[in-house]
Amino acid sequence: MPTIKDVARAAGVSIATVSYVLNNKTGMVSETTREHVLEVAQRLGYRPNINARNLQASRTGLIGYAWHKAPGGEPSPVLDQFIYHLAHAAEQQDYHVLTFTHPGDNPIRVYEDLIRSRRVDGFVLAETETNDPRVRFLIDENFPFVTFGRTANDWEYCWVDTDGRDGAKQAVEHLIQQGHERIGFLGWSYAALTGDDRLQGYLEAMENAGLPVDKDYIARTDYKTETIESVLAQWKPHNLTAAFVVSDYDAISLMRGLERNKMPPMAVVGFDDAPVSKFTRPGLTTLRQPLREISTALIKMLHERIQNKDCIPQNKLFKPELIIRESSLIPPNAPAPR
Amino acid sequence: MPTIKDVARAAGVSIATVSYVLNNKTGMVSETTREHVLEVAQRLGYRPNINARNLQASRTGLIGYAWHKAPGGEPSPVLDQFIYHLAHAAEQQDYHVLTFTHPGDNPIRVYEDLIRSRRVDGFVLAETETNDPRVRFLIDENFPFVTFGRTANDWEYCWVDTDGRDGAKQAVEHLIQQGHERIGFLGWSYAALTGDDRLQGYLEAMENAGLPVDKDYIARTDYKTETIESVLAQWKPHNLTAAFVVSDYDAISLMRGLERNKMPPMAVVGFDDAPVSKFTRPGLTTLRQPLREISTALIKMLHERIQNKDCIPQNKLFKPELIIRESSLIPPNAPAPR
């Protein structure tokens, strides 16, 4: 790898002269020398040392992104795709993505270390929680960051999110169009704005169509066999014929639970368009998040924030797209399997 | 963020003195001053600027990893999990992972740019191909790198791989134990060492058991409906009762193809233990790659390479683990669905 020294030696000039030329300081060297040095630098394949350049500019050109949950936990099909789009969007703005892992119990320390050691210019956070301590910490530090997802409070910071309320409305309206009237909502057992938002959309669509919602229609699960069994027991007296489910994995669990119990199939819509959705039988109708657009918006916001730490926080919601496969086309009067 | 200047000002000493103390240059300052400066630095929360430190050490502390194929192409369930383990293993050795994307037609340019701009200390490559041009380029550059997977030639470089031959043998021996004798092999349509290796394992296991292999037993696919149809046509006259398939997605396609054509189910073993394998009906028997161990070995090799560019290239094979679910337990005489 040629250094500035090598260029100076090959060009027969001082290191200072090479430095003047490469840093575009005009008036210090003659035009002939300038051209000669540039030609030699190019011939040798010289590139400036990014570390040196960043030191000058106080810029690392890196954006930190914490790798999501460890494998073996819940699968994160959407985030796997998200990080690809994020890396790609970052490169369009001349950044690279530094991925890191952090322990579940105290993520703050890792963020703090990366800031203190000036490793990154900013962060992108995903899997945000209600009152997320990482968000609180980064607001207090006034360090540039953006989040994919919200934290369910009135903190002011930059976020981009999928409009889960709109997605739920699309799903339920689609089920109503197929002739369904008794439609269940299957959400997560833990409190998250993402889930609440989707519940709101479900309730709105039902209300707009003049369909009553018994409190038992709203069930909670975590795609474990046992909880699905109790969901089915909760729904049984109501003869529900369709359900909107907040994630594809939970939707698949529901379909399997019905089959296992030899109950009539329900029309089902999931959320995420996980790769698995194409492989289920029947293929799963679901809502796809526009991850490319979300990533581009996040990087744009973050870049502005890095340029000016005091710019006004922006927020943006993207509508998901309903992908219709077979699972939602099951009619209200489908017979139970023998 | 306090700088070395802030520490000097608060401690009432020169910047040079702070620098001597922080860089552990003994004999330049008194013990009293040293303790005073360290105390002030700690109180202010001073951390060294990593860019400055790396410039000194000519080390970036970053390992480059090209994000695998864009979403929408073939899913890469194993690589999604691999990058998590890689980031984690890197952190144990005080590196972070810089992820980047590259165009399919000429990946070299991106690697070249990252080297020339001294962005990374080394690379981890995955999805290696026969005569992979990235591997050739990095060998020629003598730039530190390791690969997860091999390139099917006699180039000398550091690689770690899963022993696909051993995995295929495990799979076929398991099928033979279930009473199967006419066992097919379903591989990729393109040439890759990974596929050839698994074919060898299949052939060995069949030979060891004294079972004949007709050339028609060996079929090629790319989990598209059309190619599965021609595979089934190729196998039909041979009444195969079981198959070893080189990937989980292809295994699922095979099972669906049999069902679609109302043919008797076959006992099937896939490869990868993709998240989808738990969700199929029947659950898919498959081979799981030890990604944590593979990542640790890769980072260890790469670190040694970064420390000493001329160390002897090492190679390591890890045996996969057979995960038995229901798909391989289908008996040789299973009836066709009505």
- The string of pLDDT tens digits covering residues A60-79 is 899 999 987 655 555 566 88
Q: Which tokens is A7 given?
A: 């260029």
pLDDT digits (tens, 9 = 90+) for B1-42: 677 788 888 888 877 788 778 776 666 678 888 888 888 888
Rounded to an integer, the average pLDDT of B297-309 is: 94
Percent of chain B with pLDDT over 70: 89
Residue B297: which H helix or E strand, with range?
helix B291-307
How far is the C-alpha of B242 from the C-alpha of A210, rounded, in Å? 53
Peptide bond connecting B282 to the previous residue in cis, omega within 30 degrees of 0: yes
State how far the alpha carbon of A129 is from the alpha carbons of A91, A199, B1, in Å.
28, 17, 27
Give contacts of A281 with chain B, Cβ < 8 Å: 256, 281
Confidence of residue A49 (pLDDT cuts 50, 70, 90): low
**Nearest chain A alpha carbon to B69:** A84
Residue A331: its pLDDT value, please?
A: 94
Q: Which chain B residues have any C-beta within 8 angstroms of a chain A C-beta?
A: 1, 45, 47-52, 54-55, 60, 62, 67, 70-71, 75, 77, 80-81, 83-85, 87-88, 91, 96-101, 115-119, 249, 252, 256, 275-276, 279-281, 291
Residue A142 C-alpha, separation from nearest chain B C-alpha, in angstroms? 11
Percent of chain B with pLDDT over 90: 54
pLDDT digits (tens, 9 = 90+) for B176-204: 999 999 999 999 876 566 678 899 999 99
For residue B287, give the nearest of B119, B195, B166 by alpha carbon.
B166
Work out the end-to-end distance of chain A between its first and last CA atoms, rounded to an integer number of angstroms: 72
Rounded to an integer, the average pLDDT of B72-85 is: 74
- Homologous superfamily assigned to A164-288: Response regulator (3.40.50.2300)
Confidence of residue B209 (pLDDT cuts 50, 70, 90): very high
Please answer yes or no on whether B87 and A71 come within 8 Å at the CB atom. Answer: no
DSSP-derived pairing of the beta strands A321-323 and A286-288? antiparallel
Q: Does domain A62-163+291-320 have CATH number 3.30.230.10?
A: no
Which comes out higher in pLDDT, residue A91 or A131? Answer: A91
* Average pLDDT value over all residues in chain B: 87
**CATH topology agreement for domains A4-48 and A62-163+291-320:** no
Residue A71: its pLDDT value, please?
A: 52
Give contacts of A55 with chain B, Cβ < 8 Å: 49, 51-52, 55
Instruction: Tell whether the model's pLDDT for residue B55 goes beyond 70.
Output: no
A294-303, B15-24, B143-152: least confidently modelled range:
B15-24
Instruction: Tell whether the model's pLDDT for residue B137 goes beyond 70.
Output: yes
Classify B332 as helix, strand or coil.
Answer: coil
Instruction: Tell whether the model's pLDDT for residue A58 goes beyond 70.
Output: no
How far is the C-alpha of B130 from the C-alpha of B141, rounded, in Å? 19
Considering only the beta carbons, identify the residue of A52, A116, A275 that sits closest to B75: A275
Instruction: Tell whether the model's pLDDT for residue A51 goes beyond 60.
Output: no
Residue A55: its pLDDT value, please?
A: 47
- Measured in degrees and rounded to the nearest 5, phi and psi for residue B279 equal -95, -5
Please answer yes or no on whether A100 and B98 come within 8 Å at the CB atom. Answer: no
Residue A276: its pLDDT value, please?
A: 78
Q: Does domain B62-162+291-318 have CATH number 3.40.50.2300?
A: yes
pLDDT digits (tens, 9 = 90+) for A179-206: 999 999 999 876 566 678 899 999 999 9
The CATH code of the domain at B4-48 is: 1.10.260.40
pLDDT digits (tens, 9 = 90+) for B238-273: 999 999 999 898 898 899 899 889 999 999 999 998
Instruction: Tell whether the model's pLDDT for residue B225 goes beyond 90.
Output: no
Extents of the domains making up chain B? 4-48, 62-162+291-318, 164-288+323-329
Q: How far is CA B74 from the centre of its chain?
A: 15
Residue B175: its pLDDT value, please?
A: 98
Residue A167: its pLDDT value, please?
A: 97
How far is the C-alpha of A295 from the C-alpha of B99, rounded, in Å? 15
For residue A139, give the nearest of A3, A313, A315, A328 by alpha carbon.
A313
Q: Which residues pair with A98 in a beta bridge?
A: A64, B98
Instruction: Tell whether the model's pLDDT for residue A152 goes beyond 80.
Output: no
Please answer yes or no on whether B71 and A81 come within 8 Å at the CB atom. Answer: yes
pLDDT digits (tens, 9 = 90+) for B149-159: 988 778 999 99
How many other CB atoms are found less than 10 A from the CB of residue A309? 10
Considering only the beta carbons, identify the residue of A97, A117, A281 that sits closest to B99: A97
Give contacts of A67 with chain B, Cβ < 8 Å: 83-84, 87-88
Residue B309: its pLDDT value, please?
A: 80
**Nearest chain A alpha carbon to B87:** A100
Residue B235 C-alpha, separation from nearest chain A C-alpha, in angstroms? 23
How many other CB atoms are found less than 10 A from the CB of residue B310? 6
* Strand order across the beta sheet in which A183-188 lies: A218-221, A183-188, A242-245, A267-269
- The sign one gets for the Cα dihedral A27, A33, A37, A39 is positive
CATH architecture of the domain B164-288+323-329 equals: 3-Layer(aba) Sandwich (3.40)
Considering only the beta carbons, identify the residue of A51, A60, A101 that sits closest to B55: A51
Rounded to an integer, the average pLDDT of A6-25 is: 79
Instruction: Tell whether the model's pLDDT for residue B117 goes beyond 90.
Output: no
* Average pLDDT value over all residues in chain A: 87
A50-54, A93-97, B190-194, B241-245: least confidently modelled range:
A50-54
Rounded to an integer, the average pLDDT of A88-93 is: 94
Please answer yes or no on whether B101 and A116 come within 8 Å at the CB atom. Answer: no
Using H for helix, E for strand and C for coil, what is the string for chain A? Answer: CCCHHHHHHHHCCCHHHHHHHHCCCCCCCCHHHHHHHHHHHHHHCCCCCHHHHHHHHCCCCEEEEECCCCCCCCCCHHHHHHHHHHHHHHHHCCCEEEEECCCCCCCHHHHHHHHHCCCCCEEEECCCCCCCHHHHHHHHHCCCEEEECCCCCCCCCEEEEECHHHHHHHHHHHHHHCCCCCEEEEEECCCCHHHHHHHHHHHHHHHHCCCCCCHHHEEEECCCHHHHHHHHHHHHHHCCCEEEECCHHHHHHHHHHHHHCCCCCCEEECCCCCHHHHCCCCCCEEEECCHHHHHHHHHHHHHHHHHCCCCCCCEEEECCEEECCCCCCCCCCCCCCC
Percent of chain A with pLDDT over 90: 54
